Amino acid sequence: MALERTFSIIKPDATERNLTGAINAKFEEAGLRIVAQKRIHMTQAQAGKFYDVHAERPFYGELCEFMSRSPVVVQVLEGENAVAKNREVMGATNPAEADAGTVRKEFAQSIGENSVHGSDSAENAAIEIAYFFAGIELVG
């Protein structure tokens, strides 16, 4: 399979606990290459636009507040089958259901404060990458 790219966020609950390096180690051990990365502090409006697809969900307000509480690390990960591979490395959205060894099993605190976000398809990855990065910032 050809190289694929996916979008990832290391969320506030993880940056607050200084877990960026530990999470990046999991990505790299799985064969994912970090081809772009930056630490930013989103406003609630910026988080709201990113999570627009969830605007009608009951947890939307809480989600936007959480994602703008502290800095996040936004990233582009590259590898074979990167979208699916990253989802494997992250584990289930709810840490209580995540497999042993996954990022969420080891680090997540709750379904809301679940340490990482990863794109659910290659199509959404392209949209999410374009929201945070200019093409010149992606260095494969």
Annotated catalytic residue 41: no
CB of 115 to ligand CMP, least distance (A): 9
* Distance in angstroms between the alpha carbons of the first and the last residue of the chain: 17
114 binds ligand CMP (CB under 6 A): yes
What distance in Å separates the CA atoms of residue 73 and residue 30, rounded to the nearest whole number?
A: 19
What distance in Å separates the CA atoms of residue 9 and residue 23, rounded to the nearest whole number?
A: 11
- By CB under 6 A, which span of 13-21, 22-30, 33-41, 107-115 interacts with ligand CMP? 107-115
CB of 104 to ligand CMP, least distance (A): 9
> Parallel, antiparallel, or unpaired for β 3-10 and 116-118?
antiparallel
Please pick, among 6, 11, 117, 132, the residue that the annotation labels catalytic.
117
- Residue 104, C-beta contacts closer than 8 angstroms, at least 6 positions apart: 90, 91, 92, 93, 94, 95, 98, 114, 115, 116
- By CB under 6 A, which span of 25-33, 59-67, 73-81, 122-130 interacts with ligand CMP? 59-67
Contacts with ligand CMP, residue ranges (CB under 6 A): 54, 59, 62-63, 93, 111-112, 114, 117
